[in-house]
Homo-oligomer: A and B are copies of this chain.
Amino acid sequence: MDRPIRVTVWNEFIHERRDESVRAIYPRGMHAVIGDALVRELGERVTVRHATLDMPEHGLTDEVLEATDVLTWWGHWAHQDVSDEIVAKVVDRVRRGMGLVVLHSAHFSKVFRTLMGTSCRLRWRGGEDRELVWTVNPAHPIARDVPVPIVIPEQEMYGEFFDIPAPDELVFVSSFSGGEVFRSGCCFYRGHGKIFYFSPGDQEYPVYHHPAVGRVLANGVEWTAPAAGVLGSEYAPELCETGWYDEEIAKQGAAQAEALAAEAKAGVR
């Protein structure tokens, strides 16, 4: 994009205010740390705002959404408390081009489940597993400058079978001390939008403080950002009578002929 990517970091923000153990790790809230990581990695290429569940309209008013290029989403305890109306607006805007970065337990958010069409269930264990995040597609933009492996000393285990559609692009696969594996970095194209799901990030562990995780989130924001902006309205094509693209035929034909004529003048043997 030719202008800074406008990111809205959405966070449930319940655990940090309710659980002492989480507050100790994220006293300013997970969203503050995520936002800081994006700014640290992307500098002037990004501007960040925050929104949380308890704000009016969950902080996702029409005004905020229309000024959002990429939305990141972390939720866990209160998926059911996100209003269906806001969910519908978010889903609609993703289909129109807004990028979506889905984090950890947000695999079970209404927004992600609606866009995936599957149950999005997985195996899990809140133990003392170390997670190793391995790159399986080093050519992918989201793998840029990411160490191999990413070592997360303590994390909640997420294990296969992860009931999602096969990712359009699989970037990372994780292992856990207990032996389980998980497709932890998954890219999806949906409508005019792009979605990146990244699994590390349980609230009990300081995962979003991990510099490499910040790098991945930044890469994810850049990859999901809509280069050509977001459509003004949903994709809903009209009946296409014969001749419906005649204007393109004429316009493009003229452009090509013009360029060819210019070449004839410019051509040197």
Interface residues of A (CB under 8 A from B): 23-28, 33, 95, 97, 114-119, 121-127, 130, 132, 134-141, 144-145, 147-153, 157, 159-163, 165-166, 168-170, 173-181, 183, 188-194, 206, 209-212, 226-228, 234-237, 239-242, 245, 248-249, 252-253, 255-256, 259-260, 263-264, 266-269
- Contact between B121 and A240, CB atoms less than 8 A apart: no
Q: What CA separation (Å) do A236 and B177 show in the bound complex?
A: 23
For the A-B complex with A26-B263, A114-B117, A119-B234 known, give 6 more contacts whose Cβ atoms are closer than 8 Å. Answer: A118-B191, A123-B237, A139-B192, A151-B252, A161-B237, A178-B242
Contacts of A263 in B (CB 8 A): 25-28, 33, 206, 209
Chain B, Cβ-Cβ closest to A159 = B240
With known contacts A192-B138, A252-B212, A253-B151, A95–B124 Cβ distance under 8 A: no
Contacts of A193 in B (CB 8 A): 139
- Contact between B210 and A147, CB atoms less than 8 A apart: no
Q: What CA separation (Å) do A263 and B35 show in the bound complex?
A: 13
